[in-house]
Amino acid sequence: MDDCLFCRIANGAIPVELLHNDELVAAFRDINPQAPTHILIVPKAHIADVTQVGTNDGQLLARIMQVAAELAQREGIAATGFRLVANTGPNAGQTVPHLHFHLIGGRVLGWPPG
């Protein structure tokens, strides 16, 4: 989608430092980090949110989980723990209507989140 911020980032129209980039998924640091490690993992295909994930998206979701694990390892947070979050809708705090996962770690994370 031409007007979707994350589509434009994932497909290179808006330059950012990509921490991961393959045919399905891109990852980059959040501009408003909530922890020492705060990375956004986004599918390159436009999917608005979790409610729009279809039965044919299994490979994509598996790839997102693999990328999250690889990035957690690379960032040094895999052994101590991290959070992987997908907000859905405005009441959950989703501000960009494109499915994305927050990989958050590098400090003790409280529960429930604030």
Sign of the CA dihedral running 94, 8, 72, 55:
positive
* 10: CB partners within 8 A, 6+ apart: 25, 26, 42, 43, 44
Catalytic residue at 100? yes
Catalytic residue among 20, 38, 98, 100: 100
What H or E segment, with its residue span, contains residue 28? Answer: strand 25-29
What H or E segment, with its residue span, contains residue 84? Answer: strand 82-85
How far apart CA 30 and CA 103 sit, in angstroms, is: 9
Cite the active site residues. 100
